[in-house]
Structure 1
Amino acid sequence: MCTHTPHCPPASSPAAEAARVVASHPEQGWSLLCNAVLVFDDTGELLPDGRVIDPHRPLTITA
């Protein structure tokens, strides 16, 4: 899917979120990356092979 240079990291890479956004739908809360990963506003992801990455926001600690 990635046709530009430098190429985006593949969906299987730990750096997959660094890929370019090719479609953005902020009203629906998601973006499609060049490597076919869907990234959601809650930091969850849907990989091209159907695997789900749970949201990984930093935990907020209140005193």
Structure 2
Amino acid sequence: MCSHQPPCPTVDSPDRQAAVIVSAHPEQGWYLLCNGTIAFDDTGEVLPDGRAVSPHRTVGALVVAA
């Protein structure tokens, strides 16, 4: 899909979300990337072959009041 230089990370690359945004829909919480990945605001993804990737955002530290 990617025709610009340098090329975007492939779908199989661990940094696939670094690809260029082709179509943005922030009001709906998703973005179509140049490599065909649909990236969601919650860090979940749908890959071009239909596989779903669960959200992988980090959870902040739990602060317990003393």
For the superposition of Structure 1 and Structure 2, which TM-score range results when normalised by the shorter chain?
over 0.9
Percent identity among equivalent residues?
Answer: 56
Task: Tell me which residue corresponds to 1:19.
Answer: 19
Q: Give the TM-score normalised by the residue count of structure 2.
A: 0.90
Q: CA RMSD in A?
A: 0.8
Aligned match of 1:51: 51
The alpha carbon displacement at 1:61 in A equals 2.4
> Which has the higher Rg, Structure 1 or Structure 2?
2
SS for the counterpart of 1:17 is helix
Question: Any runs of at least 4 consecutive aligned residues in structure 1 with deviations exceeding 4 A, and if so which?
Answer: none
* CA shift digits 1:4-42 (9 cap, x unpaired): 011111101111111000000001100000000000001
Q: Which amino acid aligns with 1:43?
A: T
| Aligned partner of residue 7 in structure 1, secondary structure | coil
Aligned to 1:40: 40
Residue segments in structure 1 that go unaligned for 5+ positions in a row: none
Runs of 5+ in structure 2 lacking a partner?
Answer: none
